[in-house]
Structure 1
Amino acid sequence: MTWDELLAYCLAKPGAWQDEPWEGDVVVKVGSKIFAFLGSEGPGVGLKCGPNREAADEWLARYPEDASVMPYIGRSGWNTLRVAGKIPDDEVREAVDASYDAVVAKLPKRERPT
């Protein structure tokens, strides 16, 4: 999966929109919250990979070379998953879906996509 394909997949989610809150760092939001950190056409995507660090650590155990804890927000279950590595594309898409769902669930009802 390329960076452009990953971005397109994220943007196909209901209510998803692209933002660049930091120069050169693309993120995808739903409502006012980020569900995917894509950076600047880099090799990975930052996603909410579990409700807590323990659950998100399963990615690190399964893919030690291609999954890492995100700086600053990793303690809350966010990981960076390397794209085009050993993680199959369908698992990356499933992780995007799960991150999106987790973020939508925490949004105030008025911000949730219809």
Structure 2
Amino acid sequence: RHEVKRQCVATTHPAAPGTEQLRQDCCRQLAAVDDSWCRCSALNHMVGGIYRELGATDVGHPMAEVFPGCRRGDLERRRRSLPAFCNVDIPNGTGGVCYWLGYPRTPRTGH
């Protein structure tokens, strides 16, 4: 969570001390997810937790700010690209990106 949030605001705020350790911890946690088919789902669950923590809805306009300096669309892109950033395998074809996480979900079911 902390790494995705940090990446989301990285373009407007300089790197803080301990950033490399935070990145390593995040990538280690993602790599520890046993079944690579579950990594994208784990990221989906994690970002849902960020939204709940911040009192935001799971769906909304991509330009809406989720927290200061971080728009919903930026957070979603960070979530989808984290496997490639961490160099962990996901069996979805090319690039290590959870593309399907960008597809619209229905608010009622979350699917």
TM-score scaled by length of structure 1: 0.30
Whose radius of gyration is greater, 1 or 2? 2
Q: Which protein is richer in helix relative to its size? A: 2
Higher strand share: 1
